Amino acid sequence: MEDDNIISSFYTRDTLNPDIWDNYDEVEESKMKDEIRKGLLDIANEFMNFIGFDIFIQDVTMTGSLANFNWSKFSDIDLHIIYDFKETGNEEELFKELFNLKRIIFNSQHDITVKGYEVETYVQDMNEPHLSTGVYSVLYDEWLTQPKPEKVSIDKEKIESKSKTWMDMIDNAIDDLDNIDDLDVALEKLNNIKEKIKKFRSSGLERGGEYSYENLVFKYLRRNGYIEKLFNNKNEVIDKTLSIQENLTQK
């Protein structure tokens, strides 16, 4: 039954989400509700205070299904802080990694919701291509990419079949952890699956956009808990590795 709910969440709606938008049934006239916009700007400001760096923000945007017609009970609010990482000079990759770690910590330490939808913050490079068909500037209160309603044909069996392949791969890798003595090997195995899923989704987004089967399969795995399952087991292996290293240091 839950699988059917996940599949049905992929279908598009006739309007934007009425909790988030004024004039939700006329996308050309739609605007983010004032209370939502103010709340998101407050969250963005709190996140930047947490990061602790004085940087010039190009924009604050919202993207994802709640800025589109494919919203559902599984949706969350993707809040992006737009920054030009070229300002960091030769330390661009270092700052990207630092801001990503800050994002993970901030999101894990806070349970922030807006109208019942979780808010996920992220620092996005302004030079990074973004493939979403709906992007709203929260800072400037205007659409950057206005979504268009479209009917999407979804092959339920195809999504379930491809998802099961990944689920079996994740389950088998986790089951094999008990037979692997070398924790570094175990960690590498889980990382390989993580990277394969990431590339799988990215290739679909580049080729077919948000409604590609690769992206829908990724959403299926996220919504049925398998992405979280993979990350939780990866973190357990990391904890065990660090615990062994700590014990060796104390001897």
In a domain, residue 73? The reply is yes
In a domain, residue 166? The reply is yes
Report which listed range, 80-84, 87-91, 181-185, is most confident. Answer: 80-84
Same domain, 177 and 116: no
Q: What is the CATH number of the domain that holds 122?
A: 3.30.460
Same domain, 177 and 79: no
Same domain, 197 and 136: no
In a domain, residue 1? The reply is no
pLDDT over 60 (residue 72): yes
Same domain, 50 and 23: yes
Boundary-marking domain end, from 99, 121, 145: 145
Residues of the domain holding 85: 14-145
Summary mean pLDDT of the chain: 88
The string over 82-119, giving b where at least 16 C-beta atoms fall within 10 Å of a residue's C-beta and e elsewhere, is bbebeebeeeeeebbeebeebbeebbeeeebebeebeb
Same domain, 127 and 18: yes
* pLDDT number for residue 197: 93
pLDDT over 70 (residue 15): yes
pLDDT tens column, 105-152:
888 888 899 999 999 999 999 988 777 889 999 999 999 999 998 777
Burial class (CB in 10 A: 0-12, 13-18, 19+), 216: buried
Report which listed range, 66-70, 190-194, 238-242, 246-250, is most confident. Answer: 66-70
Counting residues of the chain whose pLDDT is more than 70, the rounded percentage is: 94
141 vs 185 pLDDT, higher one = 141
Between the CA of residue 204 and those of 51, 100, 109, 198, 247, what are the distances in Å?
A: 32, 23, 32, 10, 44
* pLDDT number for residue 211: 84
**pTM of the full structure:** 0.77
Question: How far is Cα 229 from Cα 235, in angstroms, rounded to an integer?
Answer: 10
In a domain, residue 8? The reply is no
Question: How far is Cα 71 from Cα 118, in angstroms, rounded to an integer?
Answer: 13
Q: What is the mean pLDDT of residues 62-70?
A: 93
